[in-house]
Amino acid sequence: MNKDKFKVIRGGLLDSANTSRKTFVSAYVTNTRLMGVLGMYIHFKLPDNKALFDLHQFFYFDAEEYGFETYDSVLGPDDGRVSEIESSLIGGLGGEKIDLTLKEAQYILQEYVRLNRRENIPMPEGFEEYASLLEDDIHMTEPELYILMCKQCVHIDSPYELINYFLMRCFGKDFGAAAFLTTQDFELEQFSDFRAGTFCKNTIDKGDEPDSYISESLVEFDDSYYVVVTHVKLEQMHICHYERISAFRVSSAEAAMMLSRSEFVSVYKMLADASTFTTTSTKLTPGAMITKHDTGILYMIFHPNNKHVAKKEYRLNEDVLGMYFVSDSGQLISASYSLDEIRQLEIDLGTSSFGRKLIPTAKYEFQEPVLYEFIQSGFEDFELFVDAIKTGE
């Protein structure tokens, strides 16, 4: 038999995501650039691959510190896994998904790859799967760049929202995003004596002049807290003037007092094994951020948007709706920072199929948050922990 009569037919499992021919289907980015983070998704068809004919790619970018931080993918028709990754990676960002062209998606990826290389940040695993998106340098015109930035940013509706986003980006040394909120070029680096900081709290008051505002911010720079006062002026819902007034250091105890708030806690006894509670147990848990601890698992549930940024008094963690801590000892503890939100959590649990496996045992209102303290305390029972607090042990 003449071997020359045979030919190789590509397809089936012979093609990986790296070598398969790809046809672009869709892409999106979250409009959370002003929060300093982005989630992005690209979907390709693999027409020559007869078994695994879809490639779903997920990217997570941090504009302030970590650059292109996370990559994940699904090869093949697995909608459940796609939804799971989407929820875990972008579910807590509080943004909408905005459609992108392939060119726009490639530009965003290449922008953060350049950041990683410039700052010597390692690339996420899976490079061989997204390497093809880096082969051709993508260039965009100024109008195209403006349109792309608009897609990445939420529409701002109020002066408070504008000021909070602007200061957040400036303190984070993310001047590219901060400049997007200004009317003209002016000096955005007003705090060159500090490295990038965390915008913990802000209170905004109107200034003496029309459209001028004074902000008093609590900012964490290099593990130290500072109260920072700034002055901005607005013009047509953009910042037209930015000025540093003062910055003075406060102790960690003073900062804790400034950030202190009530915490509402409901405690349940579980009639099922702790391992049976998952991200699909209630309506609110699919997008929760999961953290494993020595004594259990914490589910942090976020609001579906970032409207807390539009408040006159902004707080960093007000994007959190509440938390479920599922302890290995058989307790489920729900916690939130407001009465309305703890009721939402109670309804979420009560109307879920898992609610039949819960018995309410206690409710508390604390003058300051205690759930994290309990998680780190070594106690296995929350009510014993509360008794220890009361007796000062």
Q: How confident is the model at residue 15 (pLDDT cuts 50, 70, 90)?
A: low
Residue 18 included in any domain: yes
Residue 2 included in any domain: no
The average pLDDT across 272-293 equals 93
Asked if the model's pLDDT at residue 19 lies above 90, the reply is: no
Please tell me whether residues 109 and 206 are part of one structural domain.
Answer: no
| Of the candidate ranges 3-7, 127-131, 214-218, the one whose mean pLDDT is the lowest | 3-7
Please tell me whether residues 246 and 266 are part of one structural domain.
Answer: no
Within the chain, strands assigned E span 23-30, 37-45, 54-62, 67-75, 97-99, 198-206, 212-221, 224-235, 238-250, 263-270, 289-293, 296-302, 313-315, 320-327, 331-336, 358-366
Residue 8 included in any domain: no
| Of the candidate ranges 1-5, 92-96, 206-210, the one whose mean pLDDT is the lowest | 1-5
Please tell me whether residues 379 and 327 are part of one structural domain.
Answer: yes
Q: How confident is the model at residue 4 (pLDDT cuts 50, 70, 90)?
A: very low
Q: What is the pLDDT of residues 21-60, one digit of tens each?
A: 899 999 999 999 999 999 999 999 999 887 788 999 999 9
Domain CATH number, residue 177: 3.10.450
Q: Which of 202, 226, 252 is the last residue of a domain?
A: 252
Please tell me whether residues 23 and 51 are part of one structural domain.
Answer: yes
Please tell me whether residues 69 and 133 are part of one structural domain.
Answer: yes
Asked if the model's pLDDT at residue 166 lies above 50, the reply is: yes
Q: How many CB atoms lie within 10 A of CB 172?
A: 20
Asked if the model's pLDDT at residue 132 lies above 80, the reply is: yes
Residue 98 included in any domain: yes
Q: What is the pLDDT of residues 187-233, one digit of tens each?
A: 999 999 999 999 999 999 999 999 999 999 999 999 999 999 999 99
Provide the token pair at 313: 């008094």
Helix (H, G, I), strand (E, B) or coil at 22: coil
The average pLDDT across 157-171 equals 98
Q: Smallest Cα–Cα separation from 372: which of 300, 314, 305?
A: 300
Please tell me whether residues 96 and 202 are part of one structural domain.
Answer: no
Domain count, the chain: 3
**Between the CA of residue 360 and those of 239, 268, 387, what are the distances in Å?**
50, 4, 18
Please tell me whether residues 233 and 359 are part of one structural domain.
Answer: no
Residue 5 included in any domain: no
Q: Which of 190, 222, 252 is the last residue of a domain?
A: 252
Query: In this predicted model, which residue has the larger pLDDT, 330 or 18?
Result: 330
Percentage of the chain modeled with pLDDT above 90: 86
Query: In this predicted model, which residue has the larger pLDDT, 50 or 327?
Result: 327
Please tell me whether residues 30 and 119 are part of one structural domain.
Answer: yes
Q: What is the pLDDT of residues 284-325, one digit of tens each?
A: 998 899 999 999 999 999 999 999 999 999 999 999 999 999
Asked if the model's pLDDT at residue 10 lies above 50, the reply is: no
Q: Which of 152, 185, 205 is the last residue of a domain?
A: 152
Q: What is the pLDDT of residue 53?
A: 87
Query: In this predicted model, which residue has the larger pLDDT, 16 or 255?
Result: 255
pTM listed for this prediction: 0.90
The average pLDDT across 268-295 equals 94
Kindly report the length of the chain.
Answer: 393
Please tell me whether residues 24 and 71 are part of one structural domain.
Answer: yes
**Between the CA of residue 18 and those of 48, 72, 77, 209, what are the distances in Å?**
12, 14, 17, 59
Please tell me whether residues 93 and 199 are part of one structural domain.
Answer: no
For 377, the domain range is 260-391
Taking each helix axis from N to C end, the angle separating 142-152 and 102-118, rounded to the nearest 10 degrees, works out to 90
Residue 7 included in any domain: no
Please tell me whether residues 292 and 370 are part of one structural domain.
Answer: yes
Q: How many CB atoms lie within 10 A of CB 267?
A: 22
Amino acid at 133: L
Q: What is the rounded radius of gyration, in angstroms, for the C-alpha atoms of the chain?
A: 24
> Three-state secondary structure along 82-121?
HHHHHHHHHCCCCCCEEECCHHHHHHHHHHHHHHHHHCCC
Please tell me whether residues 275 and 321 are part of one structural domain.
Answer: yes
